[in-house]
Amino acid sequence: MGNKNGFDPSVTRGVQVYWERAERVTVVHSGGFLDRVDQGSVVLFETKREDEERMFWFGRTTNTAYWFVMHQPVSIFEVGNWFNHHQMMLDAHNGDLDEFCDMQGELPF
């Protein structure tokens, strides 16, 4: 029996919800659809397999769009890595990534 709040690889159809680093992640598998989309939520759309590995489009929702976090489909392992690295960046900058961007002279978007 695994973690009931984690990704369940046995689910292959419909919609699955799990938690990663205190964020709700919705996974839309083959045949699944979303009744509604909450702004700012993380949504993964399963796509075709690569070398027998399940792959997902990884993004966040806004009022009018789906914002891709990665520029190509990724494995569920890579999704977890992204959340871990994001948390490490937040921890390193006291939770203020806007200040980090300002220090780098980058545009704030």
pLDDT tens profile 53-67? 999 999 999 888 999
| Residues 17-32 as b or e (16 or more Cβ within 10 Å = b) | ebebeeeebbbbbeeb
Structural tokens at position 31: 């045949």
- What number of CA atoms fall less than 13 Å from residue 25's CA on the CB side? 23
Mind listing the pLDDT tens digit for each residue in 69-108?
Answer: 999 999 999 999 999 988 888 888 777 766 655 555 555 5
**C-alpha–C-alpha distance, residues 94 and 65, integer Å:** 29
* Strand ranges across the sheet with 42-50: 15-20, 23-28, 42-50, 53-61, 66-68
**C-alpha–C-alpha distance, residues 76 and 92, integer Å:** 25
pTM check: above 0.85: no
Contact in structure between 99 and 33 (CB atoms under 8 Å)? no
The one-character DSSP state at 30 is B
